Structure 1
């Protein structure tokens, strides 16, 4: 570890917030507006009188263009795979763009309407925009490209993990529910992305990350007639 790295690591959470804010050239008031808190709250964070938690921490990291893990302890989150692989895996492309040897096209449903409970339309018939994805990465995830699609997430129910405008990859071949995993579902004609949990008696619990605004939804066996599991979420990307 270099001397500079040691100094960065030894700084407090408040000093790291202040450092990044000044580098970006924004005031405490502006930063508070980005995060959704008052300038007083930002001042308290920078003085280490209080600390950002939960959604505020993620919003603060997005506003400061840094890793939340770095804000907390001065170190970036260790990643199992290079970011470049993920960023390079998905990109918008036209029908005339050549594919690489390790690339495959995945349909990207930016505006999805579920008609008559059918869920996502047949991928083979899709003529809209597509995303480019590495075959090797799909293979490691156990995903067949013939059963993969990407959809856009709207709203704030899944924040801070999936902010409004995020993109998720859905494996339509995997519809068996594993408690706590994320799924795309057709809920009475609405496309929704939720964590699912099986309940005794054949019921189902739908959970959002933003529990403060979106408490758990419990569906009994009769209500499940309105729900179709489209597929398991195997990948997601967020806009910062």
Structure 2
């Protein structure tokens, strides 16, 4: 598994930059780049500038997470510890925690629990506003399993809007069905709702009138990274 420092070094070498040249572009000293590449610095307050200098995203440098096709541009998204975020020079950002979901018996009993994780997804306020997203209704979580490959892989990160629960055919949602949590594509049908996996080894499930009371939409996926 690569580290923050190794990712920086690899991308710097691919761009044929010296440590000093990269530092100058990112606005840090050569010694800072050297410390990062040696693994002695796990982060930097210039993470956005460093990512832009390397033509990548802060999320990739820090976590090795690649922002996928519906992600914003590199300057719009990242994942940082609290000490990185508390920097007024970074502009207007919104921090989104990672959550787990606790299920108890019966429908409607899904509880969002903040993960014991110092990292936060970080979005520019302007990006949220352009997509009419409200930070109060956004939850970040990890994908589990392989049923949505090749769209989503195990431990990919997704961002959910829990205020958006009206089903739009072909969109991805977090749902509860028969007491289990799923991340699936949903499609309305004449007699119910199809719950669709992308991996060919997983058969579609179907919500009927008889099983509708065991079905609940928790939120719509509005961003993904893997």
Asked if these proteins are the same fold (TM beyond 0.5), I'd say yes
Tell which structure's C-alpha radius of gyration is larger.
1
Contact 2:173–2:220 (CA<8 Å) still a contact in 1? yes
Q: Structure 1 stretches of 5 or more lacking a match?
A: 1-78
Count of residue pairs brought into register by the alignment: 152
Please give the residue correspondences for 1:146-157 in structure 2 after superposition, counting only pairs within 5 Å: 146-157=136-147
Match of 1:224 among 201, 212, 225: 212
Name the structure 1 match of 2:42: none
Find out whether 1:176 has 2:162 as its counterpart. no
Q: Which runs of 5+ in 2 are unaligned?
A: 1-68
Which structure's residues are more often helix, by fraction? Answer: 1
- 2:78 aligned residue: 90
Whole-angstrom distance in 2 between the partners of 1:81 and 1:179: 20
Retained in 1: the 8 A contact 2:142–2:157?
yes
Which runs of structure 2 are paired with 1:69-108 in the superposition (5 Å)?
83-86=73-76, 89-94=77-82, 97-98=85-86, 100-108=90-98
The 1:81–1:133 alpha-carbon spacing in structure 2 relative to 1, beyond 3 Å, is: closer
How much does 1:107 deviate?
Answer: 1.8
**1:206 matched residue in structure 2:** 195
Secondary structure of 1:146's match?
Answer: helix
**Do 1:107 and 1:128's aligned partners in 2 also have CA atoms closer than 8 Å?**
no
TM-score for the superposition, normalised by structure 1: 0.57
3-state SS of the aligned residue for 2:101?
Answer: coil
Q: Secondary structure at the match of 2:126?
A: helix
Query: What is the correspondence of 1:114-193 to structure 2 with a 5 Å cutoff?
Result: 114-116=103-105, 117-121=108-112, 126=114, 128-129=116-117, 130-193=120-183
2:75 match: secondary structure: helix
Q: Report SS of the residue matched to 1:176.
A: coil
Q: Is the 8 A contact 2:71 2:223 kept in 1?
A: no
Larger fraction in strand? 2
1:93/1:132 contact within 8 Å kept: no
After superposition, the Cα gap between the structure-2 partners of 1:95 and 1:192, relative to the gap in structure 1 and judged at 3 Å, is farther
Report the CA distance between 1:135 and its aligned residue: 1.4
1:112 alignment partner, SS class: strand
* 1:207 Cα offset (Å): 0.5
The answer to whether 1:112 aligns with 2:97 is no
TM-score (norm 2): 0.60
| Distance apart, 1:81 and its partner CA | 7.9
